[in-house]
Chains A and B, each alone.
Chain A
């Protein structure tokens, strides 16, 4: 079922950055993920679409350990996410080790989740100063550069409540980038935005993709998938139904369920 990215020439031979193998997730009796296999190459933009309840957000949250998987394994580079393997047995990681794994993975949420009591600048500086122990001066310079990169340099001293949704989301992207992650996860980053604000956020994400960032994007923006995505994965009912080149899938879906979903969102 799984095909790796083919739209990124020159990267085919390299090891994948993310390797998801046979992942299952139960919430009590509810079987949300039913055996997911997926790989993401370095520099690849992997877009996941699917109806609500298909498990796409849950999968994303498992990669960052906001949920623990019930079966299977997720590997980011050499790190086995959430576990260490000793003599063929999995051992849960300590909270410290989990925090260390998360530093390499940035995450952007549907509802932004900026820290409301901190300014845009302080939001971005928080993790570099508190987690990476960067000096305040270095963190501030880097944060202002990131704010400029997302087009919000003059909003540095605004609190989140003084920013529009699109601006908040761009600050949230800058905040995640401040940790210099290897991988960025986007969990429906534009779903909570007014339509006219979606474009600004998508443009920031496009620039990020061009800069070579590895990204996994759960979204309903089919246009973004077609334009920026290297791989498109369609999930439904906790399984990967179809995966491959986004332009091919969108133009010519192979599965009836993909066809039906695309006809409803396009």
Chain B
């Protein structure tokens, strides 16, 4: 078995013949005794934790089980998700606009974008939420008309900016300022040559931003935006400032106060936040994979061999009467002298 192969001195040849007839190096790996010690410590800590979780009656796992799928709790998850998703949608839409404005050639746009970020990032989200809750007190009626002139239309602010809307606006506008900076960083990360190449093709700036720059920037934008989304999931617990009282944290708190058992309800809330976060992380994985096309994710675009073959055949045998000599291909746009 080894008679046809060369033995490398000092190395043990691998038992099996490699398909290419190469004797692979069979080196002794470096030993890592520290890792075994570390693993043992971790197992010990986990065992202690598990034991305490199981044996400590004050965790009240029975109550955790009772309230995990309580109607109010499930509705609380629903509201928390609605707040998270709506405020993030608003924030992302605003952030794209703000980031584009900040990169614009129009100084007015740049200035407005800067001031927006300065204000909404510079004041606490709690303060902003309280403010949106008080908008109806500040402006009881929304009036559309000419300043100091006739009034065309008016309605009660309370009906437009109710607690839900106030919570979503408060969270969304505040988040837009942070996201705008993330998007700006993403746009700046794209090589300047991309803009030049697209400009040289005669593309307009808005189109270049949407079709060339932003899709590439998304590679950089998605991870921190996922981070912000997961952060937002937890930030929604601040909406009691509005006050908005249906979200997961408020509901579990209310139940805890009613039954004088804060710990099991904290576990219920933590369990759901963790579960939703995990689902969001799965979504982020797929979004990252989508925008990594051609850079991180090198699977080829779906090939349609028939279409390619047809077009190649067409190119080799053009229907138009052209010089068949391959050395002088038909001019695609050259001015014929």
Closest chain B residue to A128, Cβ basis: B201
Number of contacting residues on B, CB 8 A? 47
Of the candidate stretches A24-32, A80-88, A102-110, A217-225, the one touching chain B is A102-110
Task: Compute how far the CA of A105 lies from the CA of B333 in the bound complex, rounded to whole angstroms.
Answer: 11
A74 to chain B, nearest CB (A): 15
Task: Compute how far the CA of A182 lies from the CA of B332 in the bound complex, rounded to whole angstroms.
Answer: 10
Task: Compute how far the CA of A240 lies from the CA of B327 in the bound complex, rounded to whole angstroms.
Answer: 34
Q: Does B5 lie at the interface of the complex (its beta carbon under 8 Å from any beta carbon of A)? A: no
Closest chain B residue to A159, Cβ basis: B294
Among B105, B202, B315, B332, chain A packs the most CB atoms within 10 A around the CB of: B202
Task: Compute how far the CA of A109 lies from the CA of B307 in the bound complex, rounded to whole angstroms.
Answer: 30
Closest chain A residue to B218, Cβ basis: A117
For chain A, give the interface size range. 35 or more
Given the known inter-chain contacts A177-B332, A208-B334, A212-B337, please indicate yes or no for A144 contacting B202, CB distance below 8 A: no
Q: Is the CB of B301 within 8 A of A144?
A: no
Residues of A within 8 A of B293 (CB): 117, 159
A182 to chain B, nearest CB (A): 6
Residues of A within 8 A of B300 (CB): 119, 157-159, 162
What is the number of contacts between chain A and chain B, taking CB atoms within 8 Å?
166
- Hey, what's the 0/1 contact readout for A86-111 against B, CB within 8 Å counting as 1? 00000000011001101101110101
CB-CB contacts below 8 Å: A199-218 with B: 207-208, 210-214
A198 to chain B, nearest CB (A): 20
Those 10 A-B pairs whose CB atoms lie nearest each other, nearest first: A180-B333, A144-B311, A103-B202, A159-B294, A213-B334, A113-B197, A127-B201, A107-B200, A113-B193, A148-B315
- Can you give 25 A-B contacts (C-beta < 8 A)? A42-B335, A66-B199, A102-B202, A109-B196, A111-B193, A113-B191, A113-B194, A115-B198, A116-B294, A126-B211, A127-B201, A130-B211, A131-B201, A145-B318, A145-B332, A157-B300, A157-B303, A158-B300, A172-B197, A175-B201, A181-B333, A182-B333, A211-B329, A211-B334, A213-B331
Which residue numbers of A lie inside 8 Å of B, CB to CB?
A: 8, 10-11, 17, 42-43, 64-66, 95-96, 99-100, 102-103, 105-107, 109, 111, 113-119, 121-122, 126-127, 130-131, 140-142, 144-146, 148-149, 153-154, 156-162, 172, 175-182, 207-208, 210-214
